Amino acid sequence: MTGRILYPLAGVVILVAVWWGYCIAFNVQTAVLPTPDKVATAFVDRFDLLLSEGWVTLQETVLGFALALGIGLPLAVAIANSRRLNLMFYPLLVGLQSVPKVALAPIVLVWLGTGLESKLAIVWLVAFFPIIIDTAAGLKSTPRELVELARSLKASPWQLFYKVQFPAALPFVLTGAKVAITLAVIGAVIGEFMGSSAGLGYLLLSATSQLNTPLAFAALFALSFLGMAVYALVELVEVLLAPWLPPKGHGH
């Protein structure tokens, strides 16, 4: 069991050592690549700043993700249950998914300005597709026998949905949510890059423009911690829902 902790830790130590060694051996300037200790110092010294900017990014990420869930789930249910809606919108959705969302960011900014709204819209754009597509796929893959069983008992559409289709689709919904939350962080940062006066993405950009590379790196680390934290949150939900999920290795 110690190997589970020791080996990953050793990997990190090796990476830091190589990074440090490279900086010293080639006498790299701090503005280009700061040594790990300088990054750590910046992280600790400016922790309050990182926290307040991180809070902004976290809000954008979580709210945008919640928006994607709130709109994506009902739409997926509609598409999965109506042949007509499915034919109308499913090909469109798959097509739209291939549009690079980053390319839409400047347009979104023109429409919604540089405040929270535009960030939410961009996060929603990137997080929405994996949620709706995975959920619709999950709902459609409900075993036919279970649907027939429910029909044979004259189950109402609502009973069919919440007792059969939704639990059957739940593993797919969670897979979609995990992809979506990772993309949501990226979406928030893109939004901040495009135009904003707050957030870790903004801090990163302004730090590099002032050649304060240690702070930029600190912001980068803060961003990855944030990403890991929100991903862990989704995993926590998965663990809490485990009684309703198929056992690992026996999944759909």
Partner 1 sequence: MAFVEIENVRKVFRVGHAEIVALDEASLSFEEGAFVSLLGPSGCGKTTLLKIVSGLLDRTAGTVRVGGTEVTGPYSDYGFVFQQPALMPWRNVRDNVLFPMEILGRRDAEAERRAGELLALTGLASFAGVRPHQLSGGMQQRVSLCRALIHKPKLLLMDEPFGALDEFTRLEMNDLLLRIRDETKASVLFVTHSISEAIYLSDKVVVFSRRPARVKEEILISTDGPRSQEFRFTSQFTEAERRASEALGLLHGEEH
Total residues at the site for partner 1 (CB under 8 A)?
Answer: 23
Binding mask 119-158 for partner 1 (x = CB under 8 A): ------------------------x-xx-xxxxxxxx---
Q: How near is the Cβ of 5 to partner 1 at its closest, in Å?
A: 31
Asked if 115 is part of the footprint of partner 1 (rule: CB under 8 A), the reply reads no
Give me the least distance between CB of 81 and partner 1, in Å please: 18
- Which residue, 123 or 164, has its beta carbon nearer to partner 1? 164
Is residue 83 a contact residue for partner 1 (CB under 8 A)?
Answer: no
Q: Are 65 and 123 in contact (CB under 8 A)?
A: yes
Judged by CB under 8 A, the residue of 69, 80, 139, 170 near partner 1 is: 170
Q: Which is nearer to partner 1, 83 or 250 (CB)?
A: 250
Q: Which is nearer to partner 1, 87 or 149 (CB)?
A: 149
Beta carbon nearer to partner 1, 95 or 249: 249
Contact flag: residue 167 with partner 1 (CB under 8 A): yes
Phi, psi angle pair for 202, to nearest 5°: -65, -45
The answer to whether 240 contacts partner 1 (rule: CB under 8 A) is no
Residues 197 to 216: which contact partner 1 by CB under 8 A?
A: none
245 touches partner 1 (CB under 8 A): yes
Residue 68 CB, shortest distance to partner 1, in Å, is: 24
Report the candidate in 177, 175, 173, 178 with the shortest Cα–Cα distance to residue 80: 173
CB atoms within 10 A of CB 185: 29
| Site of interaction with partner 1 (CB under 8 A) | 143, 145-146, 148-155, 159, 163-164, 167-168, 170, 243-247, 250
